[in-house]
């Protein structure tokens, strides 16, 4: 198996596995959401990239904390409590219903009792987790490629994040949309969206510039890096963008750069940074962001 930091990740070849793992991350992510104090813009629900996969980080439960990690190297879900108790679930071709049942059983074995909204969010198939026998795929090789891609994307997006001194999210993985994202904030409230659902209302309460990576979906079945502004300033869709392979998607309302263009380039890191930076500069100029107050030189000398 290639150890490339940017391995092939063709959505059509692992779509069934992607959808199954997506549902598994929703089950775990909803557990974190149910037990964690609410933080602005849903930052309390996200997962984080680790060397081995994805983690919830510490979740409070009474006087204890516990965490849950998708270990995509050992192909297991690890559950660990601050009192030393731990458990694990094997990851293999199994239904969402089977995973959900064992997951809840393992939580109870750790003394954790939680109820979650057991229906997928931001996903076209709304089968309840305990009834879902449709999604039951797990291709180890594809999951390994996904893990390595997440690690590389996380590393580059963290470098991009470091250039901004205004309010900015962590680089985190949203299990609803199944993407790795980092979001910059202008520092002022956004106009209210008509008929916005609770998720959108909270996520876009303030003006933002966001970029990230996701493996594709039914609307755009290709892994890609993306960038957008909310609200989107007039003229953004025709703004100059780098590299030349990047383009505006009218359907999604954002800039896209296909992952295959990145991984086959001479310098994937530089291409991603150029894409994110040029999209941010275009939107910040059109929206009138005060960039002098929000940015710093990437190589500025910061000492304690």
Judged against a pLDDT cut of 70, whether residue 191 lies above it is answered with yes
pLDDT digits (tens, 9 = 90+) for 168-181: 999 999 999 999 99
Judged against a pLDDT cut of 60, whether residue 301 lies above it is answered with no
Average pLDDT across the chain, whole number: 95
Q: How confident is the model at residue 296 (pLDDT cuts 50, 70, 90)?
A: confident
Judged against a pLDDT cut of 60, whether residue 304 lies above it is answered with no
Q: Which helix (H) or strand (E) holds 171?
A: none
CA 152 to CA 268: how far, in whole Å? 10
Quote the pLDDT of residue 124. Answer: 94
Contact present, 213 and 179 (Cβ < 8 Å)? yes
Q: How confident is the model at residue 297 (pLDDT cuts 50, 70, 90)?
A: confident
Task: Let me know if 42 is exposed, middle or buried by CB neighbors in 10 A (0-12, 13-18, 19+).
Answer: middle
Which region among 70-74, 196-200, 253-257 has the lowest average model confidence (pLDDT)? 196-200
Quote the pLDDT of residue 195. Answer: 79
For the chain, the three-class secondary structure string (H helix, E strand, C coil) is: CCCCCCCCCCHHHHHHHHHHHHHHHHHHHHHHHHHCCCCHHHCCCCEEECCCEEECCCEEECCEEEEEEEECCCCEEEEEECCCCEEEEECCCCCHHHHHHHHHHHHHHCCCCCCCCCCCCCCCCCCCHHHCCCCCCCCHHHHHHHHHHHHHHHHHHHHHHCCECCCECCCEEECCCCEEEEEEEEEEECCCCCCCCHHHHHHCCEEEEEEEEECCCCCCCCCEEEEEEECCCCCHHHCCCCCCCCEEECCCCEEEEEHHHHHCCCCHHHHHHHHHHHHHHHHHHHHCCCHHHHECCCCCCCCC
Judged against a pLDDT cut of 60, whether residue 1 lies above it is answered with no
3-state secondary structure at position 188: strand
> Across residues 62-86, what is the average pLDDT?
98
> Across residues 246-260, what is the average pLDDT?
97
Quote the pLDDT of residue 193. Answer: 82
> Across residues 232-248, what is the average pLDDT?
97
Q: In this structure, what token pair is assigned to residue 279?
A: 């999209």
Which region among 171-180, 212-221, 243-252, 292-301 has the lowest average model confidence (pLDDT)? 292-301
> Across residues 222-249, what is the average pLDDT?
97
Judged against a pLDDT cut of 50, whether residue 65 lies above it is answered with yes
Phi-psi label, residue 122: left if phi above 0, alpha if psi -120 to 50, beta otherwise: left
**What's the maximum distance between 2 C-alpha atoms anywhere in the chain?**
55
Q: Are strands 254-258 and 247-249 parallel, antiparallel or unpaired?
A: antiparallel
Judged against a pLDDT cut of 60, whether residue 66 lies above it is answered with yes
> Across residues 93-107, what is the average pLDDT?
98
Quote the pLDDT of residue 298. Answer: 59
Residue ranges per structural domain of the chain: 11-131, 150-294
Q: How confident is the model at residue 3 (pLDDT cuts 50, 70, 90)?
A: confident
Q: pTM for the complete prediction?
A: 0.95
Judged against a pLDDT cut of 80, whether residue 76 lies above it is answered with yes
């Amino acid at each position: 198996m290639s150890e490339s930091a940017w391995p092939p990740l063709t959505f059509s070849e692992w779509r069934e596995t992607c959808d199954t793992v997506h549902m598994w991350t929703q089950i775990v992510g909803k557990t974190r959401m149910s037990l964690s104090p609410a933080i602005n813009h849903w930052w309390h629900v996200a997962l984080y990239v680790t060397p081995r996969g994805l983690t919830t980080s510490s979740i409070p439960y009474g006087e204890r904390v516990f965490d849950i990690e998708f270990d995509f190297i050992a192909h297991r879900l690890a559950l660990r409590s601050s009192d030393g108790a731990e458990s694990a679930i094997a990851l293999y071709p199994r239904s969402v219903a089977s995973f959900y049942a064992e997951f809840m059983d393992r939580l109870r074995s750790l003394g954790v009792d939680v109820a979650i909204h057991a229906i997928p969010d931001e996903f076209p198939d709304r089968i309840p987790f305990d009834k879902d026998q449709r999604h039951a795929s797990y291709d180890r090789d594809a999951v390994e490629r996904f893990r390595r891609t997440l690690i590389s994307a996380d590393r580059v997006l963290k470098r991009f994040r470091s250039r901004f001194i205004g309010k900015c999210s962590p680089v985190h993985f949203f299990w609803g949309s199944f993407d790795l994202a980092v979001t910059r904030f202008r520092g002022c409230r956004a106009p209210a969206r008509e008929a916005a659902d609770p998720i959108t209302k909270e996520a876009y309460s303030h003006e933002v510039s966001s970029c990230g990576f996701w493996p594709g979906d039914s609307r755009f079945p290709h892994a890609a890096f993306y960038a957008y502004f909310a609200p989107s300033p007039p003229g953004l869709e025709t703004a100059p963008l780098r590299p030349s392979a990047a383009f505006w998607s009218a359907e999604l309302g954002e800039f896209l750069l296909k992952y295959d263009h990145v991984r086959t380039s001479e310098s994937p890191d530089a291409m991603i940074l150029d894409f994110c930076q040029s999209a941010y500069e275009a939107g910040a100029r059109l929206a009138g962001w005060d960039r002098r107050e929000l940015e710093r030189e990437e190589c500025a000398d910061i000492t304690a």
